[in-house]
Structure 1
Amino acid sequence: MAASAALQLSASSFVVPGQLTLRTIHGRNGPFNVGSLITPVGKFAVKDAELEQYPEGKYDGEFVISYIYAKAYPSGGGIRIEVRATLDGMTLSGIDKLSRAEARAFSNQEVDPLDEELGTQPAMPAATPLPEPARMQASKDPLIDTAPFGVDMPSAAVATSGGPDSDDAALFGLLWPLEESVKLDSTIDRRTLRLQIARLGVLGYTLDFKSQQWNQPDQQAA
């Protein structure tokens, strides 16, 4: 999903007002978000990677829907079918906390979207699950490339220097060194995105959900 506050339409997308409810669930891979989008044209499950950044709550706004489809997955020993929407962008105008009833409306059997992408969720018998991706750490041997496919890594000189910034440079790739405001790329693999989100929190950044970017504390107050 395009992480932009400005709504831009493609030939197949349309904009609708609505309310996006996000629920944070703690699974074997750590916390993950699942969403429910209520609009005038219907109610949809939303599990775009972009939503990994946002705290649990109810968000009012406008949403660019690019694709609607049915998705079946294992749940509680059976098969669950839900109608999902893929978002190309959104403009958020407000947030409220979830009530207990709203939180309980989400299934305890929600599948982590990361497991879906890796093919490691509980079986609907199918192809052999994909292996876990390699840890994002450059080899100490500059002649050996251990970078995951599609992840930009720093130069061998930076990665092997052992300096305090080498791990962050490897994690953030082209975003490093970080500026006062950071907009993450939600099109990278979801596991790396989660690591970036967690690291930004450790570094003191906070998410401004309206601008959809992470800011340092002094920048957030400005």
Structure 2
Amino acid sequence: MGASDDPRTFLQRVHGEVTTRDRMQIFRHKPVTIWLTGLSGAGKSTIAFELEQRLVSLGHACYVLDGDNIRHGLACDLGFDKKDRRENIRRVAHVAQLMNDAGLIVITALISPMREDRAMAREIVGPGNFIETYLSASVDACAGRDPKGLYAKARAGEIASFTGVSAPYEAPADPELRIDTATQTPAESVAKLFTYLHDNCLADPR
């Protein structure tokens, strides 16, 4: 099939008349993606859903894209090798971008261990809408929580390519936010995130 025979060559982006500013006026916030990254057990899901609850209680349209939930549907065909992890992040980033375009605040909760993959996600979402948030906690601290029993299984050799044990995690070099979840409670972590959003994203546009 030649390039001219490929139906994709005829695709064009189309745009409606509703602007980002229109949606900001309705929702009273700047649509952004808070990209939570960190080891398993660092608190990503807990913090994501608590922050979502706080934002929604104040009338802000918000949604969590949780890594485990994504694996049940959007990425149910993917494994956990480097290629599939990157594809998982690509898909989530595109969904987040679409939801931002619709005016929502999006919170993603994914390990997303590789810097180059998070950089790709930033480009897809849009650098001005991407808030990389590193939930910092050591492997030992996360293993001490081990809410899913995964570290014990990984160390016993029952789980291959487990981030922090048998696969690497590349910590962000310059995230918008860094939260030490080994020493801060989920409530304190959510408060820090909310303060950042309040100062940068939640002002009612005029």
Q: Same fold (TM over 0.5)?
A: no
Pick 1 or 2: higher relative contact order, CA cutoff 8 A, min separation 6: 2
Structure with the bigger percentage of strand? 1
The structure carrying a bigger helix percent of its residues is 2
